[in-house]
Structure 1
Amino acid sequence: MELRESLVHLSDNYIEQKEEIFTGNVLANHLRKVIPSLVASLLGAQDRYYVKGSAGQSNWANIPWIAIMDLTITKSPQNGFYLVYLLREDGKGLYLSLNQGVTDLKKKYGRSVSRALEISGSDFREQLKYSKNGLIEGPIDLAASQKGSLGNLYEHGAIYSLYYESGNFPDNETLENDLEEFITLYLQLVLNLSVGSSGQAEDDEMGLSIEDGTKLRQHKRVERNQALSKKVKKVQGFTCKACGFDFEKKYGEVGKGFIEAHHLTPVSEIKGRKVGLDPVKDFAVLCSNCHRMIHKTEFVDKVEEFRTSYIVS
């Protein structure tokens, strides 16, 4: 099944199927499994992105969605920003949208969340300055029936979007090209973000070109992602792969579970979403000293050679 066929099937049948029993529904399963699997196959680097579709939890959602989440930013549509297909509540059309997580912001801003989403969306657009025929900048119309609902907040959280009218979807090639362009747009926004909370360049970024600085920030963003780091440590343990240092043996309880996850892809070879995130083959656990030093050598991706050259006498 191609992307167009799959999305048209959703668009043409969702409103009717909402009248049917939710549990075990074939269309709901199509939304949860078939479309996400299809989208993931089109992305190529599936370890970088998490694709999830939802027709609701225990009952039908008014606005179903298929979200594409960069795992260095978020693994939940409740926070961060992500790509998402959103079907209008009345079923009259489908959006492909670079959108923002609304749940966490709603807790933070309360009744002002819609305005907060629009302001942050405007800031994101200033960073990207993207243009395309048919592009929608800012809020979209999902025909959300209830103000303050998740659907209503999705409307305000939109950064850039494309609209496909039900019964008049473009051909499959166009849909796939649109997805590819929005993935590139999403990636650019990820790379634009500074790792430092202050937004200032860190010491090792000073003097670098814009391109090299961007690659380095991407490298550090991967390494500092808490979910990824936790997974790496669970698989590889807490002993430095280079020098064998064990923080718990040296410092006792206070050092228990302390180690750093080092991403093995050299900064010079980072090419957007091709960066691997496998906790076994793409990372190594290193102590703080070895981690900092390995980046100063030619052995960023060769821990054993680093060990032989600099540690083992």
Structure 2
Amino acid sequence: MSLPSELTGIFSVKQKSYKMVLIMALLQEMNESGEREVSLENVKSRFLSLLQNRESNGEPVDSPVTPANRWADVTKGQVNQIIYSPIAALGSILDQNPQLQTLSFKERLLNSWGQSVLTELYDHAFQMLEQYHSERKSSDFTIGSALSGVLNQYLEAKREPLKNNSLGMYVRQQIPAGFKELDFIADNSNFKVQASVGMGVWATVPWIAIMDRRLTESTQIGEYIVYLFAEDMSSVYLTLAQGVTEPNKNGKVEGHKYLRSKVQEIRSILPLDGLTKDEEIHLTSGGLGREYQVSTVAYYKYDRNNLPPEEQLIADLGNVVSNYKQYVDIVIQSRNRQEPNSVTETMPQFADLTVTERLDHAKAYIRQKGFSFPEYLIENFYLSLKTKPFVILAGVSGTGKTKLVELFAEALGATRDNGQYKLIPVRPDWSDPADLIGYKDLNERFRPGPLAEIMLEASQSANQNKPYFVCLDEMNLARVEHYFSDILSILETQKRQDDQVVTDVLIQPSLLTTSEDRDTYGDLRIPGNVYLVGTVNMDETTHPFSKKVLDRANTIEFNYIQLNQYPEPSTVDQVMPQPAPNDFLCSKYLQLVDAYYGEQVSAIQSTTEQLVRINDILETVHAHVGFRIRDAVCFYLLYNTQANLMSDEQAFDLQMLQKILPRIQGSNRSVKRVLLQLLETALNKRLNKNELEDDSSELWGNLAKTTEQAIYPLSANKILFMLRRLEEDGFTSYWLS
């Protein structure tokens, strides 16, 4: 028999093997106890025991995400912070009872399964665990098998969907893991290995890159080693190359001029023995071809039907790595000559964590503080801040909006004590920016507001790699457009300057009277390490938002309340804050042109096509979106794909919920027609709109049935809520509660 639909694919995203081990531990405990709802502590013990037994038997295991290097040394307390990540990842099928400290499958699902389903699920988890580790055996990896696997399978794989494609996952996960096992890669802790077959859609030119983090962590900029596969898969090039995105921001003519100059400079200082040094690298028949030609320093070319033996492939890569290391050393030495030692010694140090690891740590920290938020809320909050440094948290009072901002900031090392977190309560009498930014007193001295003070602190050179959080509490007690308009306008002027994201000037020096004020506050800008979060309650005491405000923010709604959630019991091993660099949150893309390259082009076009269809619907009630929202939605989805946080459908669902639906309000039939059309998009099926325009109660009367197959379930639920309000009250809005 086959597993029910709700169980298929639950292990498809395998960042670690914890999900499989958790399911096995839960099923073992259920079988032994005979209970449907079992002790969470017992599941934790089994979870740890399974991993310790595999380790002691010499079977492969993922290393623990704790200070301990072996599972034998992991304590029960440390298991707490490990196990909550897979529990959250399997939230669609699991229920955790904080009050009783139990874990179970969701009752509605368990009632529809028989014992045979549970038995098959256990076998499935075991098989996926073995497959997972089998795929990761470094002894099976060779450069030749990796290259030939892509060359021989890529064109066929491109005919299939990219999502969960086996070749795609092999390239993204197994190939980098294999390269990291090579001695001359593993010995360098600064090396980062990354591979890509596209974001959302298949790439024209897939690649495998080796980067020294001291030079670059992105293939958009800097110098790195990269295998580039020809579009027709006839050959692959091992190259020492440069990122082209940043140089081309000044136009391709200037960009190519810079890249060629850099090529000649690097060729003059490195031996590059045995490598080809010309522009005869041919990968595509389209526009990417020229970029690769002018940016490549030197290369080896391998034909698909004549790959060298493994020893030669390893020797070639070793030669390129040796040259690359020499180049990195030259660059570092040059930097040290230019920078005083006192500066480099005072630069903050940050742990080298992936986005997922950092967010999992933040969630564990927040749980430890006694707070629990819905699944994917932290990921959504992170992506929203990454997309634009202004986010609105909306909902009924007392749901934890302000606490989320404070605890998320704390988890990343930004606290009240170190000045990286600032709570600013908004007053109802605010009518201009003076209370936030500042004003001149009767003596013509500038009195800075709280926002100006934190921006000044964040812009200091020693602080530019630290994130600063500002929480504007009860933001809409006053009219946002009156006191916040200057900030909103200035945020739209973000640009890169000397490797920092800055805006136009917020405080003009000419408006300041004293030389001391001009020196201190003149030319003050909003630095790229300041993140603004507004909390709002939508009731009769507050002011509504204009589209100008909504366009510039992701609006995350807090109306999901589960009163029977209780704090997790404290553990001996406390989860401590993990300071994060500003790069973790800072936007890479400020305009669409920044992201419009390589495999991201197709992903952007795919997202835009969906927005075009939605815009055609919205235009009938003059609620359609512009380029600002188009860009923001594209960036959100790109960041999600890069970090592998959730599916494309889940990410677009959240963007539809947060960027599209808040724009809709009204009382006429046209609004209802738009809501029904958007519901069709969310449900991915046709509706009888002619009948439903008169009475749609059959839809919102049974929410679970209506949305059970929805492609965008969160948006579908919100639309149904808005339809119900329209029929019952004669007026609807996203904000009604």
**Amino acid of the residue matched to residue 201 of structure 2?**
N
Report the counterpart of residue 194 of structure 2 in structure 1. 52
Report the counterpart of residue 553 of structure 2 in structure 1. none
Q: Could you tell me how far apart the structure 2 residues matched to 1:44 and 1:23 are?
A: 30
Q: Could you tell me how far apart the structure 2 residues matched to 1:223 and 1:4 are?
A: 44
Q: Answer with 98-107 or 252-261: which moved more.
A: 252-261
Aligned residues: 236
Report the counterpart of residue 69 of structure 1 in structure 2. 211
Please point out which of 209, 228, 242 is paired with 1:86. 228
Please point out which of 256, 264, 285 is paired with 1:122. 264
Report the counterpart of residue 277 of structure 1 in structure 2. none
**Amino acid of the residue matched to residue 191 of structure 1?**
D
Please point out which of 300, 305, 312 is paired with 1:162. 300
Please point out which of 128, 135, 144 is paired with 2:284. 144
Q: What secondary structure does 1:178 align onto?
A: helix
Change beyond 3 A, Cα 1:228–1:121: farther
Matched, 1:5 2:145: yes
Report the counterpart of residue 185 of structure 1 in structure 2. 323
CA contact (8 A) 1:105 1:113 kept: yes
Change beyond 3 A, Cα 1:116–1:236: closer
CA contact (8 A) 1:89 1:142 kept: no
Q: What secondary structure does 1:91 align onto?
A: coil
Deviation of 1:121 after TM superposition, in Å, equals 0.7
- The higher relative CO (CA closer than 8 Å, separation ≥ 6) is in 1
Deviation of 1:108 after TM superposition, in Å, equals 2.6
CA contact (8 A) 2:226 2:239 kept: yes
Q: How does 1:238-253 map to 2 (within 5 A)?
A: none
**Amino acid of the residue matched to residue 187 of structure 2?**
A
Change beyond 3 A, Cα 1:17–1:119: same
Change beyond 3 A, Cα 1:41–1:235: farther
Q: What secondary structure does 1:59 align onto?
A: coil
Deviation of 1:194 after TM superposition, in Å, equals 5.2
Q: Answer with 44-53 or 59-68: which moved more.
A: 44-53
Please point out which of 155, 164, 170 is paired with 1:30. 170
Report the counterpart of residue 719 of structure 2 in structure 1. none
Q: Could you tell me how far apart the structure 2 residues matched to 1:185 and 1:60 are?
A: 31
CA contact (8 A) 1:97 1:161 kept: yes
Deviation of 1:90 after TM superposition, in Å, equals 1.4
Q: Could you tell me how far apart the structure 1 residues matched to 2:257 and 2:464 are?
A: 39
Q: What root-mean-square deviation, in Å, do the aligned CA atoms of Structure 1 and Structure 2 show?
A: 4.0
CA deviation vs aligned residue, 1:193-221 (integer Å, no higher than 9, x gap): 25556x966678xxxxxxxxxxxxxxx6x
Q: Could you tell me how far apart the structure 2 residues matched to 1:203 and 1:186 are?
A: 25
Report the counterpart of residue 734 of structure 2 in structure 1. none
Deviation of 1:32 after TM superposition, in Å, equals 0.7
CA contact (8 A) 1:96 1:161 kept: yes
Deviation of 1:129 after TM superposition, in Å, equals 3.0
Q: What secondary structure does 2:328 align onto?
A: helix
**Amino acid of the residue matched to residue 108 of structure 1?**
N
TM-score of the superposition, structure 2-length normalised? 0.28
Q: What secondary structure does 1:67 align onto?
A: strand
Q: Could you tell me how far apart the structure 1 residues matched to 2:179 and 2:223 are?
A: 18
Q: What secondary structure does 2:239 align onto?
A: strand
**Amino acid of the residue matched to residue 272 of structure 2?**
Y
Report the counterpart of residue 171 of structure 1 in structure 2. 309
Deviation of 1:100 after TM superposition, in Å, equals 0.1
Deviation of 1:7 after TM superposition, in Å, equals 1.2
CA contact (8 A) 2:263 2:296 kept: yes
Q: Could you tell me how far apart the structure 2 residues matched to 1:86 and 1:229 are?
A: 27
Report the counterpart of residue 21 of structure 1 in structure 2. 161
Change beyond 3 A, Cα 1:128–1:169: same
Deviation of 1:86 after TM superposition, in Å, equals 0.5
Matched, 1:111 2:233: no
Report the counterpart of residue 239 of structure 2 in structure 1. 97
Q: Could you tell me how far apart the structure 2 residues matched to 1:247 and 1:77 are?
A: 34
Q: How does 1:211-230 map to 2 (within 5 A)?
A: none
CA contact (8 A) 1:72 1:225 kept: no
Q: Could you tell me how far apart the structure 2 residues matched to 1:145 and 1:24 are?
A: 28
CA deviation vs aligned residue, 1:102-160 (integer Å, no higher than 9, x gap): 1111113433423332221111100113221xx2113242331212x3x5312221101
TM-score of the superposition, structure 1-length normalised? 0.63
Q: What secondary structure does 1:136 align onto?
A: coil
Q: Could you tell me how far apart the structure 1 residues matched to 2:306 and 2:161 are?
A: 29
| Percentage identity across paired residues of the two chains | 27
Change beyond 3 A, Cα 1:90–1:223: farther
CA deviation vs aligned residue, 1:226-255 (integer Å, no higher than 9, x gap): 877999xx99979xxxxxxx997xxx9777
Q: What secondary structure does 1:167 align onto?
A: helix
CA deviation vs aligned residue, 1:146-205 (integer Å, no higher than 9, x gap): 12x3x53122211011111111111111111211111111111111125556x966678x
Deviation of 1:47 after TM superposition, in Å, equals 3.0
- Higher Cα Rg, which structure: 2
Q: Could you tell me how far apart the structure 1 residues matched to 2:295 and 2:241 are?
A: 5
CA deviation vs aligned residue, 1:33-59 (integer Å, no higher than 9, x gap): 111111111111363111110001111
Deviation of 1:27 after TM superposition, in Å, equals 1.1
CA deviation vs aligned residue, 1:260-300 (integer Å, no higher than 9, x gap): 99xxxxxxxxxxxxxxxxxxxxxxxxxxxxxxxxxxxxxxx
Q: What secondary structure does 1:50 align onto?
A: strand
Q: Could you tell me how far apart the structure 1 residues matched to 2:353 and 2:314 are?
A: 34
